[in-house]
């Protein structure tokens, strides 16, 4: 099958190549998915550069990618919950970095898989798993519920825009940071936009004079502002800054979780959640997708379509 690979850790994106690789092995409790779409996430190129080497073993060459939407084409032993032909999504991170989703097919533990949202296109569904799972886990860790006022840093990004929608669906008031160009987009999702940068704490306080109940940071470098706008007893979490734990916050890492995928799919099918797709790329343009992700200015998701 065709897949994108890199031969060793490197920040040189030109080492990404499309080549023929062996078919994935299909073990007990796993499904083989024909990939229709796979979201790009910052972790993909950070991992390629060796950013998680201290945490995760790798077997080279590596096929990058942890998001997938596709069709089940084969079942391993003892997978009664799926059938060949099922349309599914999954956050496909594994314990060892090797066989990712930027390929024609990928094997994924059934426990990480859920039915694809009927209301989303393949591209939207492919961009949902990691971003949606991260948003959901962060809001769950914060206990965001009806009546809360929540500040979301980087609210127009892939994770932030989904977090906005989940929080709004729970009945929370959402204040979201973004560039002025994305303010109308955030209003459309149900958030109150504020411009990031110098003076952010004052702008948030103008909207919430008594402080916010919770802060979700999806960009990093926001701890000072977070603590300045958080009311006494408030909660905060970050996916990008481990140091929040030293200040009473939570450092969040999403886990492969089919139940979480099913919850996201249900929100989508109820009309409470959609995925903004910024651009799609073929396998031969994964390096371009990584470069676009590295700018940090993408609204919504970048998606690979094999």
Partners of 280 in beta bridges: 303
**Rg of the chain on CA atoms, in Å:** 19
d(CA 175, CA 152): 6
Residue 296 has a pLDDT of 86
Domain boundaries, the chain: 2-128+275-304, 131-251
Mean pLDDT, residues 68-86: 98
Q: What is the mean pLDDT of residues 167-174?
A: 98
Q: How many other β-carbons are positioned within 10 Å of the β-carbon of residue 54? A: 6
Residues in the chain: 306
CATH number listed for the domain at residues 131-251: 3.40.50.720
pLDDT in tens, 190-220: 999 999 999 999 999 999 999 999 999 999 9
What confidence category does residue 300 fall into, taking pLDDT thresholds of 50, 70 and 90?
confident
Q: Which fold has domain 2-128+275-304?
A: Quinone Oxidoreductase; Chain A, domain 1 (3.90.180)
Confidence band, pLDDT 50/70/90 cuts, at residue 297: confident
Give the mean model confidence (pLDDT) for residues 241-248: 94
Looking at residue 298, what is its pLDDT? 85
pTM of the model as a whole: 0.96
Give the confidence band of 299 by pLDDT, cuts at 50, 70, 90. confident
pLDDT-based confidence at 31, cuts 50/70/90?
A: very high
């Amino acid at each position: 099958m065709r897949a994108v690979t890199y031969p060793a850790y490197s920040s040189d994106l030109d080492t990404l190549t499309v080549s023929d690789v062996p078919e994935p092995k299909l073990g007990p409790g796993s499904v083989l998915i024909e990939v229709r779409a796979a979201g790009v996430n910052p972790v993909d190129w950070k991992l390629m550069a060796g950013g998680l080497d201290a945490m995760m073993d790798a077997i080279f060459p590596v096929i990058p990618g942890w998001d997938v939407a596709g069709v089940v084409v084969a079942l391993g032993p003892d997978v009664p919950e799926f059938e060949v032909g099922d349309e599914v999504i999954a956050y496909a991170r594994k314990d060892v970095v090797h066989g990712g989703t930027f390929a024609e097919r990928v094997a994924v533990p059934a426990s990480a898989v859920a039915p694809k949202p009927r209301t989303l296109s393949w591209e939207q569904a492919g961009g949902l798993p990691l971003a949606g799972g991260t948003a959901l886990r962060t809001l769950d860790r914060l206990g965001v519920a009806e009546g809360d006022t929540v500040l979301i840093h980087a609210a127009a990004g892939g994770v932030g825009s989904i977090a906005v929608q989940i929080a709004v669906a729970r009945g929370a008031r959402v204040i979201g940071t973004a560039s002025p160009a994305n303010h109308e987009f955030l209003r459309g999702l149900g958030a109150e936009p504020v411009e990031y940068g110098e003076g952010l704490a004052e702008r948030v306080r103008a909207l919430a004079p008594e402080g916010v109940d919770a802060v979700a940071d999806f960009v990093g470098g926001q701890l000072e502002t977070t603590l300045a706008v958080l009311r006494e007893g408030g909660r905060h979490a970050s996916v990008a800054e481990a140091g929040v734990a030293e200040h009473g916050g939570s450092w969040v890492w999403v886990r492969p979780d089919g139940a979480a995928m099913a919850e996201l799919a249900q929100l989508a099918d109820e009309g409470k959640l959609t995925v903004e797709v910024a651009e799609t790329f073929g396998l031969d343009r994964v390096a371009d997708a990584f470069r676009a992700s590295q700018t940090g200015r993408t609204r919504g998701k970048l998606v690979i379509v094999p």
